[in-house]
Structure 1
Amino acid sequence: MTTPHMDAADIAASLRAAMVRELREMDAVTSEPVAAALVTVPRHLFALGEPLEAAYAANSALVIKRDGSGLALSSLSAAHIQAVMLEQAEIEPGMRVLEVGSGGYNAALIQELVGAEGKVVSVDIDPDIVERARDCLKAAGYDRVEVVLADAENGVPEEAPYDRIIVTAGAWDIPPAWVDQLSEAGRIVVPLRMEGLTRTIAFERSGDVLVSRSYCLSGFVPMQGSGSFSEHVVPLAEGVALRVDEEPQRFDIEALRQALDSPRLERWSGAAFDLPDELELFLLTNMPQVAMLHASEELVAQGRFAPSVTRGVPALTRGGSFAYRTKRPDEEIGGFESGVFAHGPEAEAVAAEYVELLQRWASDHRRRGAARIQYVPKTARTALPSRGLIRKRHGAVVVSWL
């Protein structure tokens, strides 16, 4: 609570305390060390030019730099996701930590967690961001953090090995340097893109592979430099597109365009619609040929598409047919029932396959943390399965369901 007689420092401290209380209520903060770091570090000193209320909003990211077209190149992530990632990392005093993607604030939080005996290295490819991070860290009293200008694809080998590597930019892959520079008992926390969606995953070593301890929904400014990746946007009609990670040539684009004009088939699963982020991960890692279907709000308002497409929804495609998820109120279920809209000559078949997936998830995996995610480097002597496999440049992601 603030009063008219408080000075700026007192107001900032009050807002910090309120932010931490809110983060506790959201279960983003679950440990005392992370809470103490968030209460201590003056976040507003890393949010230059922003009102104090904006700097201490628990669930809002602040853009630090944009390119000429207005696309965000760097941001101060929402305190909520920073807290969750720090909890995933379980940083202890005395650890050596590499942060990929600089901004300053998160590195300051890590410095609080590792203490005087620990080491924090933050690396970024953008000289403007590096200079800004150094200035902000110095102003806030955290100039022990080493901020390095480099392409993070190569890590920072001079200070390796690291007990923790925390990646604060959206990564499409895990480069060999990160694995090589991780200590034997180390942990990588990385927002990893998989088939068009991103999950922040805490990985630990298990022999030659990395195995998830936890994962959560997230969104980050994408990685720059040699580790960058651009999705493919496949226009199907005005206001309708597929977004895919793989080369789009494997889709029968002309046939899918024709399917848009075919009658819509509806099929309902009888299963509850719940936990959409978990459901989407299941769908995208169990479909043989998948894309994210996007359509405009105008087309939804015209009744041509379900509302799920406005933010993107997993679409199962087969030749010139496709199906995607929707929902409807259901009093017996006590919420919503999941269902499918399908188009094209094989609409019945793709709808039936999609409905079976919805039913299987609802009966077997409808809970938090049901996925086991592994990262298998190309150098690992590990056989790869045919199911739940997502190939990357330097290895593969394998998702299985418990």
Structure 2
Amino acid sequence: MDIASTTGTQESPEEQQLRNTLARNLIEVGAARSAPVVAAFRAVRRHLAAPEADMGSTYEPETPTITKTDEHGVHISSVSAPRIQAMQLEQAELEPGMSVLEIGSGGVNAALIAEIVGKSGHVVTMDIDPDVTDRALRFLKVTGYQNVTVLTDDAETGAPERGPFDRIIVTVQAADIPPAWRDQLKDGGRLVVPLRMRGMTRTVAFVRNGEKLVSDGFELCGFVPMQGLGENRVRLAVLHDGKKEQVGLRLDGHPEPDTAVLATSLTLPQAKVWSGVTLGGSESSEHLDLWLTTALDNLPLMAAEPGARTRGLVASASPMGIPALVDGDSFAYRTVRATDEEDRYELGAIAHGPRGEQVAERLVEEIRTWDRDHRSHRAHIEVYPAGTADDRLPATGRRIERRHTRVTITWP
């Protein structure tokens, strides 16, 4: 249904100050770089999308606003953190007059897009969950956006009656790209999607080139997973299940591990191997991790709760996961240690199991390869339709097979 304008609620000086502060913060961290994106964040009254939340928290750059959880307490809908929203809007390269499809609703991001494309443009925002679209409708009505249409439907088939679109922006984690998203995008148009590749999610800006999607930059991110026909969640293989001490491997097309054997290995003394490769304190390991998953076959992510680190089971605890090389009864994961140089850390591997040191050496060797050959490079990602012949794909790199697509990751 289309949104009709209403008067909305009275603005307060505090609210305007929060919006201005948010815009300034997004500029400072490099998330908002263009004038239209900055102006959109200064204009959109995002706190009205979650009236039950503390108003100030909705304007925190790094804080998503959770709007719905499932029966297990898993977050299934949220208003994305402003920094992530700004990042995707910059990736989309929106212009006035464009037609945009947003997949994964909530209202706030649709309003930001509407601000940028203007009255001559149009936004279609869709979600499978009627609770989510009802919330979006209420928000868009009270904030008065007339150039937005809200649809309740499974986005696997897109919105064919509304396309083709200049841009498609996906705000939920996707493991695959349905043909409808490509087909409803104009040739040369941009698809911005948080694409999960072997457990690692990056929001990738793709440009359509006929039947192929070609990456034009990507950023590290985290999103709630997609529901409906396109649902394809990571599975956790648990190695240790103590209270607040859980350790597991996030599997995304990786070989099935022998969890009983690896659980035993987790209790054995650690082996440590250091690479001699260092990172600055503010330098991200995201490109290294993407290299590792390109180069190594069995590299799931090791997720651990803080209690597991406190107890000494693992040296690092991350809910998102740390790359871990698994080989039968042994595994090794990436780690760091401080150096004599201030705010600089050496990369290495910690291993468990009878052959842990050998596995750690393999992981460290790829860290050194990245440092020597690819540190200044960025991966190139392409998406081809499923069924594309091997000889039409890049000859080197990593291939990820999904139901609808064949994804390739290559490096210069």
TM-score by length of 1: 0.92
The number of residue pairs the alignment matches comes to 394
1:130 aligned to 2:133? yes
SS of 1:120's partner is: strand
* 8 A Cα contact 2:306 2:317, kept in partner: no
The answer (yes or no) to whether the contact 1:375–1:398 under 8 Å persists in 2 is: yes
Look up the SS of the partner of 2:323 in the other structure.
Answer: strand
Q: Which of 247, 251, 259 pairs up with 1:240?
A: 247
Q: What letter corresponds to residue 376 of structure 1 in structure 2?
A: Y
The equivalent of 1:3 in structure 2 is none
339, 342, 348: which one aligns with 2:351:
342
Are 2:127 and 2:153, in contact at CA under 8 Å, matched by a contact in 1? yes
The question of whether the paired residues in 2 share the 8 Å contact of 1:232 and 1:247 is answered with no
Paired position in structure 1 for 2:360: 351
Q: How does 1:2-401 map to 2 (within 5 A)?
A: 8-238=11-241, 239-246=246-253, 249=256, 251-273=257-279, 274-308=283-317, 311-331=320-340, 335-367=344-376, 370-380=378-388, 382-383=392-393, 385=395, 387-401=397-411
Is the CA contact 2:104–2:126 (under 8 Å) kept in the aligned structure 1?
A: yes
* Alpha-carbon distance between aligned partners in 2 of 1:361 and 1:277, rounded to the nearest angstrom: 12
Q: How large is the RMSD of aligned CA atoms in angstroms?
A: 2.0
The alpha carbon displacement at 1:311 in A equals 5.0
Superposed CA offset, 1:267-300 (max 9, x none): 1111113422222222122211111123343332
Preserved CA contact (<8 Å) 2:385 2:405: yes
Deviation at 1:144, TM superposition (A): 2.5
Structure 2 CA distance for partners of 1:297 and 1:64, relative to 1, 3 Å: closer
Q: Aligned in 2, Cα 1:309/1:57: closer, same or farther, shift over 3 Å?
A: closer
Give SS of 1:290's match. Answer: coil
2 CA distance for matches of 1:316 and 1:136?
Answer: 45
Say which SS state the counterpart of residue 362 (structure 1) adopts. helix
- Which moved further from structure 2: 348-357 or 173-182? 348-357
2:7 paired residue number: none
Confirm or deny: 8 A CA contact 1:286 1:388 kept in the other structure.
Answer: yes
| Deviation digits for residues 168-226 of structure 1 (CA, Å, limit 9, x no counterpart) | 11111111110110101111000111111211000012343211111111111111111
Change (3 A) 1:378 1:138: same
Contact residue 272 and residue 362 of structure 1 kept, 8 A: no
Is this contact kept in 1: 2:272–2:357, CA < 8 A? Answer: no
The 3 A distance-change label for structure 1 pair 320 and 159 is same
Once the two structures are TM-superposed, the CA of residue 98 in structure 1 deviates from its matched residue by 0.2
Aligned partners of 2:236, 2:328: CA distance in 1, in Å? Answer: 18
**Would the aligned equivalents of 2:202 and 2:218 in 1 still touch at CA under 8 Å?**
yes
- Report the more deviating stretch, 261-270 or 22-31: 261-270
CA distance in 2, matches of 1:67, 1:254: 30
3-state SS, counterpart of residue 12 of structure 2: helix
Quote the Cα distance in structure 2 between the aligned partners of 1:210 and 1:388.
16
* Cα 1:95–1:207 shift into 2, 3 Å: same
Identity %: 44
C-alpha distance in 2 between matches for 1:388 and 1:96: 34
Measure, in 2, the Cα distance between the counterparts of 1:138 and 1:48: 14
Offset at residue 309 of structure 1 (A): 5.5
Confirm or deny: 8 A CA contact 1:196 1:244 kept in the other structure: yes
Matched-pair contact (CA < 8 Å) for 2:270–2:351: yes
**Which deviates more, 39-48 or 299-308?**
299-308
Distance 1:248 1:363 in 2: 29
CA distance in 2, matches of 1:395, 1:214: 19
- 2-structure distance, mates of 1:221, 1:321: 31
Maintained 8 Å contact 1:169/1:221: yes
4+ residue runs over 6 A deviation: none
Unmatched runs of 5 consecutive residues or more in structure 2:
1-9
Superposed displacement of residue 259, structure 1: 2.5
CA distance in structure 2 between the aligned counterparts of 1:156 and 1:267, rounded to whole angstroms: 52
CA distance in 2, matches of 1:375, 1:115: 31
Q: Distance in 2 between matches of 1:82 and 1:198?
A: 15
2-structure distance, mates of 1:371, 1:387: 10
Deviation at 1:64, TM superposition (A): 1.4
- Tell me how far apart the structure 1 counterparts of residues 303 and 230 of structure 2 sit (CA, whole Å): 26
Cα drift, residue 89 of structure 1: 0.3
| Preserved contact between residue 275 and residue 366 of structure 1 (Cα < 8 Å) | no
**Could you state the TM-score of these two structures normalised by the residue count of structure 2?**
0.90
Equivalent AA in structure 1 for residue 274 of structure 2: W
